[in-house]
């Protein structure tokens, strides 16, 4: 019997058997990057790296994160702009005490901000 092919074609690298990785953050959590000065709201989670090889290789090797950990899609902000970020779990920490995030896309997915996190809009939940 052939073993199943667990791979993410968009990342163009085989993963082998899935590894157990548990997400430290949840959708709606406010987080801060440990190395760079930005924060954001988690709106999606990949259990392991699922971006392009070009994106991964563009990260300087000395700060390049492991692939076998959760990666988070964030509605992010810094002093200058709002944008979408893709960040490894090892580079994030909770930032619920920092107050709400000012990102123009938040209203499309989330309702209220309370206790350091955003609540997913009711019509988007199962």
**What is the C-alpha to C-alpha distance for residues 25 and 31, in angstroms, rounded to an integer?**
8
Question: Using 50, 70 and 90 to split pLDDT, how confident is the model at 3?
Answer: very low
Q: Is the pLDDT score of 14 beyond 90?
A: no
Q: Is 3 inside any structural domain?
A: no
Q: Confidence class of residue 15 from pLDDT cuts 50, 70 and 90?
A: very low
Domain containing 112 equals: 22-124
Give the pLDDT of residue 12: 45
**Tokens describing residue 99:** 């107050």
Q: What is the pLDDT of residues 24-77, one digit of tens each?
A: 999 999 999 999 999 999 999 999 999 999 999 999 999 999 999 999 999 999
Q: Note the pTM of the prediction, 2 decimals.
A: 0.81
User: Beta strands of the chain (E only): which ranges?
Assistant: 7-8, 13-14, 30-33, 39-46, 71-77, 82-88, 92-94, 110-114, 117-120
Q: What pLDDT was estimated at residue 123? A: 77
| CATH number of the domain to which 47 belongs | 2.30.30.390
Domain count, the chain: 1
């Amino acid at each position: 019997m052939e073993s199943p092919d667990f791979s993410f074609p968009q990342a163009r690298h085989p993963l082998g058997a899935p590894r157990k990785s548990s997400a430290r953050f949840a959708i709606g959590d406010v987080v801060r990057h440990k190395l760079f000065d930005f924060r954001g709201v988690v709106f999606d989670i990949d259990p392991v790296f699922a971006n392009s090889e070009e994106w991964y290789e563009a990260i300087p090797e000395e700060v390049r994160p492991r692939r076998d950990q959760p990666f988070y899609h964030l509605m992010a902000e810094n002093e200058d702009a709002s944008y979408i970020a893709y960040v490894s779990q090892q580079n994030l920490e909770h930032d619920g005490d920092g107050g709400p995030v000012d990102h123009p896309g938040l209203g499309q997915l989330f309702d209220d901000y309370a206790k350091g996190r955003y609540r997913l809009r009711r019509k988007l939940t199962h």
